[in-house]
Every structure is written in C-alpha cells, then in structure tokens.
Amino acid sequence: MANLTNETITTVLNLQRRLLQLINQATAAGQIILEQYGETEATIIALNPLQNVRERATSYYIRLYRLLLQIAEFQPVATSATLNLLAQSIEETQAIADAGEASVQEGKSDFFPTMTQQPQPPDLEKVKQTAAKLREICTMFDAQITVLDELIAQVETENRNNPINVYRREKGKRLLESLMQEKAKEQGGE
C-alpha cells in the first residue's frame, strides 16, 4: 500500500469496526424499541434518528473503504491530496462515530432509563428534544458527507490522471485495437 503506516491502516480499520458496531447498536436499539412499544408517535420520533445514524455510519464506512482502496492503487506514492483527504476523513469519522454512539445511547435512555427498571413509556417532550438534537447531528453529517464526496471526486480524478493509469489505459486500447485488427484480418481472409 502506498505511503501508509501500519498505525494509519490500523486506525482506519478500527474506525470501520466502530462504525459496524454503531450500525449494529442503532439497529438493535430500534428493534427493541419497536418490539417493546410498537409503532407510536414517540417511537417513530425516536426511530427516525436511529435510522439516520445507521445511514451515516454506513456512508462513512464505505467512504473509508473506498479511500483506502484508492490509496492502495496509487503506486509507488499516493498524492499528498489523497493522504490529506484520508487524514481529514479519519478525523471526521472519529467525530461522527462519537456523535453517533452518543445519539444511540441517548435514544435508548429515553425509553430505558436504567436497566433495572421496567420499561416505561417515554416522555414525548424528551423524545422530541432528543430527536431535535439528532436532526442537528444529522445535518452536520450531511455537510461532512458533501465535503467528502467532493474530495473523493477530486481523488478519483487524480487517480484517473495518474501517469501509470493513463499508460495502462492506453496500452489496453492499443491491445484491443490490435486484437480487433487481427480478428478482422482473419474474417477477411476466410
């Protein structure tokens, strides 16, 4: 892999593990809430933010995967823009994972204040406040995703224009053209 230390690779893989756990926790919390309380106004308000947490965690997981794969394809050295994008993505993903984990815990605490208590119907006002906080976090996620999408597009453009990739594409075109000419000669000579 071009230019990445084992520490950086481990950090990315650990973040992906955290995101997978976050997706699992948000899904499990939503399922438990739905099973315990059914589909009510309060549960719908609580379930929407959990769905948003799952979607954003999935999005960041995929972004890290794609970026790591792109860096692996840069040889012998990844561009500084790509490495900077990875560093920024790591930082943002850590913040997103922290916020998502807190959101899941807060969503669960609305319905299950302590593990020893019997489940009580949540206070609708508290659920609405939690949902408002989660919408704010989701808006932040959306803004970060937009920035990352633009940066990933720039990295993909750099990757396409990488001299090695240009050479391989041109070589492939020449090979295809040569094979087509040979096939045409064979068909014309029959």
Kindly list the averaged pLDDT for each block of 10 residues, start to end, along the chain of length 190.
80 94 90 82 80 89 89 77 86 88 80 53 74 81 84 82 84 91 81
179 within a domain of the structure (yes/no): no
Closest CA to 70 of 170, 152, 171: 152
Mark out the alpha helices in the chain (DSSP H runs): 6-37, 41-73, 80-111, 124-161, 163-189
- State the total domains in the chain: 1
Domain that holds residue 29: 6-162
Q: So what's the pLDDT on residue 61?
A: 93
Q: Residue 103, Cα to own-chain centre: how many angstroms?
A: 17
Looking at residue 147, what is its pLDDT?
84
Residue 20's CATH number: 1.20.120
Question: Looking at the domain assignment, is residue 10 inside a domain?
Answer: yes
- Note whether residue 188 is domain-resident: no
CB atoms within 10 A of CB 141: 22
CA angle, 42 as apex, 118 and 117 as ends, to 5°? 10
Best CA proximity match to 50, nearest among 117, 133, 116, 147: 133
Q: Is residue 189 part of a domain?
A: no
Asked if 150 and 88 count as a contact pair (C-beta separation under 8 A), the reply is: no
For residue 114, the model assigns a pLDDT of: 47
